[in-house]
Amino acid sequence: MREAKLHAGIPVKPVYGPEDVAGIDVERDVGRPGEYPYTRGIHPHMYRDRLWTMRQYIGFGTPAETNARFKYLMAHGQDALNVAFDLPTQLGLDSDDPRAEGEVGRVGMAIDTLADMEEAFDGIPLDRVSVSLTINGMAAPITAMYFAVAEKQGAARERVVTTPQNDILKEFIARGTWVYPVEPSLRLVGDLIEFSARNFPRSNPVSVCGYHIREAGCTTAQEMAYGLAIAAAYVELMLARGMTVDEFAPRLSFNFTCWGKIFEEVAKFRAGRRLYARMLRERFGATNPRSWMFRSLIGGGGSAFTVQEPENNIVRGAYIALAAALSGAQTMALPTFDEAYTIPSPKAQLVALRTMQICAEESGATDTADPLAGSYYVEAMTKAMEEKILEELAHVERMGGIVEAVKSGAIQAEVARQAYLFEQRLASGEVPKVAVNCYVGEGAAAADPEVELYAFDAGVAEAQVKKLARVRRERDDAAVAGVLRRLRDEARGSGNLMPVIMDAVKAYATLGEIARALKDVFGDYKEPVKF
Amino acid sequence: MKVLIAKPGLDGHDRGAKVVAQALRDAGVEVVYSGLKRTPEEIVAEAIQEDVDVVGLSVLSGAHVLLARRVVDALRAQDADDIRVVVGGIIPPRDVQTLLGLGVTGVFPMGTPLPQIVAAFKEERA
């Protein structure tokens, strides 16, 4: 008989039966959808009341180009946006900074000043559309720009719904868009959470991400464990500022990955919801049920897609969408079949959106809440996954807690080690990948020359630099200098920096100027290089 | 044999770089990893200081041609063009020839099997 094992290392038996769920207290551990501990989902009727939000990740080139693609997706039924920023923007460099050369508008849209943000959301009513901002190190100034645009549009503050990612701990572990050292970076995370909770009550000022850590190589159980540890670190950060947990926890949200190994993903999310609810209620004393709810964007894992025979990724995407639906996603996004090649083409984007819509409307997965509940296998795996996640959390504690593990580089090294182990399992065929390590026919396929590659236009940088120069010319330089001085002064203190950052963006200070002012005070992060 | 695995530019995705670094180390190669967001000048300085045989650049952002050119040029300017340069990452097929034309001696586009990358590094020793 063939061996079977989850990515988390849990062995799978050929058959499950009543004996495998005998130790589970159904009332206490599984419960009902919409009820503590939310193993079965955070809403009583799940998708019967409200379908997940479809939120494809997009952004490239100039704000005007991105604005046009936003409108294309919305015209085809996408109901919310998920914005990609280019690397200079993510790192606080203006488009005319020498270090930005070759990167302006490449992996996302370029934002230098409030004028760019105004253009990106031109004609998109921010009191009606919810927008995720994939921004971390620069979350404070970019979200300030977003709030400023919403204000200019006349949107009521309580109707503005934005989710800046604002999860710097995972950037130190995986995605790499850190700028400042760990402690001042955490302060900025806290400033945005606090400011948002007090002023934009429906916005979600942090999206805790397991996604990127898993995509960087860790296992499913580690993804959930690290995400929960990061969430706990942010809760502690806010409690230390004197906020009560129920003031901010209802607006904490999550962003996790999902691959096509359906039952493992379902077990991961069911276990994660249960653990999070218990952590918030029992450890942090939250009393508002909304504080106990693990609300998640489930994003299909781009690294599950292959360069070989890219059309196969459409099929992988369909299984991923089904897994995410069965996992109880609030929001879903899928990678596109050309993911391994390029910035997605409009056609690939449309196929991804259609995949989610077909899953929602045609598969029947949305007809009833948590349809896999009560399955011997799924309940037993949920329990096994819970135990594995707790083991991984104990490992994080042994590393000194998540913040210390990030500072020392121990957790980065563990993720890299797992990535290498996974690669070896792919090479040995232990993890099968069709058309990659099995059923390859006459040798492995090379890259498909038919995939339409995004034509990066070098003119984007030129246009962006020209616009930046015009904004600099037309603004009140003395006002900008004054507000940047104030920003430096306040950064030396310990107060919330969001109000002064709001003033800076409204004065059309550039993102680079704001980032530099903070760097003058906070300094640079020195990466602990371990592998 | 000694190799510097380096991440030039602003891209923060280091899974591939670290996997290749570990595979090379297991294959008996001495490996130095630069860490993220190094400038071409910093990479060249580190390559010379560490006296490596090969620099492996990992770029996933799309800026690979510009960054590889900078590294090759800077090695030449330092009279260190005996140090070979190879490039991996999201390299579209159309850019492979361009990179080779710059003087890069090996290109590993997405989907290249790990053993093939390790073997290619070892051949660079010659």
Q: Is the pLDDT of residue A298 over 80?
A: yes
Do B110 and A340 count as a contact with CB atoms less than 8 A apart?
yes
Residue A214 lies in a domain: yes
CATH number, domain of A230, equals 3.20.20.240
Q: Are A469 and A360 in contact (CB under 8 A)?
A: no
Distance CA B90, CA B58 (A): 9
Contact A417 B22 (CB under 8 A): yes
Could you tell me if residue A24 is inside a domain? yes
Within a domain: A93: yes
What is the arithmetic mean of pLDDT over A312-333?
A: 97
Q: What is the mean pLDDT of residues A315-325?
A: 98
The Cα–Cα gap between B123 and B24 comes to 12
Question: For chain B, how many structural domains are there in total?
Answer: 1
Q: Which of B4, B7, B18 to mutate to test the interface with A (most CBs of A within 10 A)?
A: B18
Residue of chain A whose Cα is closest to the Cα of B24: A420
Length of chain B: 126
* Per-residue pLDDT tens digits for A451-476: 888 888 889 999 999 999 999 999 99
Structural domain boundaries, residue B103: 2-123
- Which domain CATH number covers B119? 3.40.50.280
Mean pLDDT of A315-323: 98
ipTM of the prediction: 0.95
Residue A461 maps to a domain: no
Q: How far, in Å, CA of B124 to CA of B27, rounded? A: 14
Q: What is the mean pLDDT of residues B13-17?
A: 95
Chain-chain contact of B36 with A176 (C-beta, under 8 angstroms): yes
How many distinct structural domains can be found in chain A?
1
Alpha helices in A41-154 (DSSP H): 63-75, 87-90, 114-120, 139-153
- Give me the residue label for tokens 């580089």: A409
Average pLDDT, rounded, for chain A = 95
CB pairs < 8 Å spanning A and B: 101
Which pTM was predicted?
0.96
Lowest mean pLDDT among A17-21, A415-419, A458-462, B56-60: A458-462
Judged by DSSP in three states, A5 sits in strand
* pLDDT tier at B126, thresholds 50, 70, 90: low
Q: Domain limits at A264?
A: 18-428
User: What is the mean predicted confidence (pLDDT) over A504-525?
Assistant: 98
Instruction: Provide the 8-state DSSP code for A11.
Output: B
pLDDT value, residue B123: 85
Give the pLDDT score at A456. 80
Tell me which residues of chain B, numbers 70 to 89, contact chain A at a CB-CB cutoff of 8 Å.
none
Q: What is the pLDDT of residues A277-287, one digit of tens each?
A: 999 999 999 99
Show which residues on chain A lie within 8 Å of chain B, measured between beta carbons.
87-88, 90-91, 93, 99-103, 106-107, 171, 175-178, 215-217, 303, 306-308, 340-342, 416-417, 419-420, 423, 427, 436, 444, 446-447, 449, 453, 456, 527, 529, 531
Where do the H-state alpha helices sit in A12-158?
63-75, 87-90, 114-120, 139-153
In a domain, A530, yes or no: no
* Angle subtended at Cα A159 by Cα A287 and Cα A167, rounded to the nearest 5 degrees: 60
CA–CA distance from B3 to each of A159, A479, B20, B29, B91 (Å)?
Answer: 54, 51, 11, 7, 21
A267: three-class secondary structure by DSSP: helix
At A236 the pLDDT is 98
pLDDT at position A193:
98
What pLDDT was estimated at residue A443? Answer: 66
- State percent of chain B over pLDDT 70: 98
How confident is residue A500, by pLDDT bands cut at 50, 70 and 90?
very high
Percent of chain A topping pLDDT 70: 99
Mean pLDDT across chain B, nearest whole number? 94
* Model confidence band, residue A69 (pLDDT cutoffs 50, 70, 90): confident
Pairing mode, strands B84-89 and B54-59? parallel
Write out pLDDT tens, residues A82-102: 899 999 999 999 999 999 999
Query: Closest partner residue to A103 among B9, B23, B90, by Cβ?
Result: B9
Q: Are A197 and A247 in contact (CB under 8 A)?
A: yes
A336-364 per-position pLDDT tens digit: 999 888 888 989 999 999 999 999 999 99
